[in-house]
Amino acid sequence: VRSLEAYSVPHPTGIEVKLDANENPFPLPSEVRHELARHLAEVELNRYPPSDGGELRELLAAECGVARDSIVFGNGSDEIIHLLCATFAEPRPRAAVASVLFPTPSFAVFRLAAIANGSEPIEVPLLSDFSVDRSAFERELEVRQPSLVFLARPNNPTGTLPTLSWVAELAARYPEVLFISDEAYGDYGAESALPLAARLHNLLIMRTLSKIGLAGLRIGYLCAAPEICREVDKVRGPYNIGSLNLCAAIWLLRNHRHGLRRRCQQVVAERERMAAALAAMSGVELFPSAANFLLLRIGKPGDRRATQVWQRLCQRGILVRCFDAPGPLEGCLRVTIGTTAENERFLEAMAQPDR
Ligand SMILES: Cc1ncc(COP(=O)(O)O)c(C=O)c1O
């Protein structure tokens, strides 16, 4: 742990357009917020929350078409990643420690959780177009027999999408390995692996309410076979989701699911518009994305153009994520899709001759 760096994101001052954290840009409408506040006022804060997630379990089980004992809740899917690494950290015969396989670059918490829970991370570099290097990945699977394989579908920060048929093929070929389809951005158009999980019990699906406009609630969930959920549940802290968060999630999903979904569709439409505008800019290389963000590359290796652009965007009150350091993401910026007005501001700043 001493050798790790804590997960952190820069927060420059004077930011008016926040496009750095892959959040959904739409706040809840004011009348919904006021009604929600009245509802939250009834929560009995002297009592512990229901340990099993209460009615949220029924709501999400119905939405996913799974049994109620096929769900585990986490304080964000971040916690689910840690719980999986903690639960399935048993080394294979003749191995000193368990291993966890995933592509790189990918979501930083896969690596942190593997190490923090005593496992060895095995990171397979993505190809230059940020698709998975299947032969290298399959070689590691064959040789190392990891306990867990994390595949973010779509991947963060690249937006690329490992195909469902490949994931299913691997899960069928390696029944002793648990494959996790991390579908944090699943509401932005990618096909879910959920229907496959019914016949492949080593295929687990991870989802979250964070990216659909409820990031502040910190509610993520695992959909998996009951025998897997039972084990993860032994490791989970009994009251890991607070009463206010549970109550808000239940009320919002019961009464405003349609509105939340519509906002994701709006983001998809904006993504397509942004992608077309960025693709038409000279000196910008754009990667295809199935998520609520776009990854772009600016400049030549080592020229730090992307860092300069990031700084100028900050000066104009626009925050995006900068990955411009030596490595596979050199020259890359990641921009979260915002509201139409926010996106316009970003595109305008990007279109200036000095960017
Ligand atoms: C691929 C991926 N998985 C999981 C998460 C964590 O989401 P949560 O907010 O549910 O912890 C993120 C957050 O950015 C992500 O990009």
The pLDDT tens digits for 230-267 are: 999 999 999 999 999 999 999 999 999 999 999 999 99
Alpha-carbon dihedral sign for residues 91, 94, 95, 97: positive
Residue ranges of E strands in the chain: 17-18, 71-74, 99-104, 120-125, 148-152, 178-182, 203-208, 220-223, 284-286, 293-298, 318-319, 321-322, 332-336
What does the pLDDT read at residue 1? 83
* Distance in Å from the first CA to the final CA of the chain: 39
Non-local CB neighbours of 119 within 8 Å, separated by 6+ positions = 85, 89, 97, 98, 99, 100, 147, 148
Residue 107 Cα to ligand 1 midpoint, Å, equals 7
- Ligand 1 in reach of 208 Cβ (< 6 A): yes
Return the half-sphere exposure (C-beta side, CA atoms, 13 A cut-off) of residue 82: 15
Q: Are residues 83 and 72 in contact, defined by beta-carbon separation less than 8 angstroms?
A: yes
184 lines ligand 1 (CB under 6 A): yes
Q: Is it the case that residue 353 has pLDDT exceeding 80?
A: no
Mean pLDDT, residues 143-158: 97
Nearest-atom index, ligand 1, CA of 209: 10
Three-state SS at 334: strand
d(CA 292, CA 343) in angstroms, rounded, equals: 12
CA–centroid distance, residue 146 to ligand 1 (Å)? 22
Integer Rg of the chain from CA: 21
Q: Each residue of 279-313: pLDDT tens digit? A: 999 999 999 999 999 999 999 989 999 999 999 99
How far is ligand 1, taken at its centre, from the CA of residue 351, in Å? 30
pLDDT at residue 259, rounded to an integer: 96
Q: What is the pLDDT of residue 2?
A: 87
User: Can you tell me the distance from the alpha carbon of 213 to that of 198, in angstroms, rounded to the nearest whole number?
Assistant: 28
pLDDT tens, position by position, 94-123: 899 999 999 999 999 999 999 999 999 999
Comparing 5 with 236, which gets the higher pLDDT?
A: 236
Q: Which atom of ligand 1 is nearest to the CA of 21?
A: 14
pLDDT at 331: 97
Q: Give the confidence band of 4 by pLDDT, cuts at 50, 70, 90.
A: confident
Ligand 1 centre and the CA of 78: distance in Å? 6
What is the residue-averaged pLDDT of the chain?
Answer: 96
Nearest to 219 by CA among 84, 72, 65: 72
pTM over 0.85: yes
How many angstroms separate the CA atoms of 260 and 307, rounded?
34
Q: Which of 20, 22, 77, 205 maximizes ligand 1 atoms within 8 Å of its Cβ, making it the mutation to test the pocket?
A: 77
| Ligand 1 pocket residue status of 156, Cβ below 6 Å | yes
